[in-house]
Amino acid sequence: MSDSDNERERELECLRLASDLTQLAKDTLSRDLKAHCLRMAKMWSDRAEQGIIAFIPVASASYH
């Protein structure tokens, strides 16, 4: 797989994650969780749009 294919795949994964987080925000009754999910969805969609896909260790992602 070429670098451009890998980058496109990472961008799609970011968009999928943003979509899942947006859906979770719609489904939850918790205002705090809704706000957190929407912030995270924006972050991931911004990264996909900008093409800036940095490696983020799974352990650190849980703290955002």
Distance between CA atoms of 63 and 61, rounded to whole angstroms? Answer: 5
In degrees, rounded to 5, the angle at the alpha carbon of residue 5 between the alpha carbons of residues 2 and 43 is: 135
* Ramachandran class of 4: left when φ > 0, alpha when ψ lies in -120 to 50, beta otherwise: alpha
pLDDT at residue number 1:
65
Alpha-carbon distance of 55 to 47, in angstroms, equals 11
pLDDT tens by residue, 28-64: 999 999 999 999 999 999 999 887 655 555 454 554 4
Whole-model pTM: value is: 0.73
Q: For the CA atoms of the chain, what is the radius of gyration?
A: 13
Mean pLDDT (whole number) for 18-27: 97
State residue 50's pLDDT score. 85
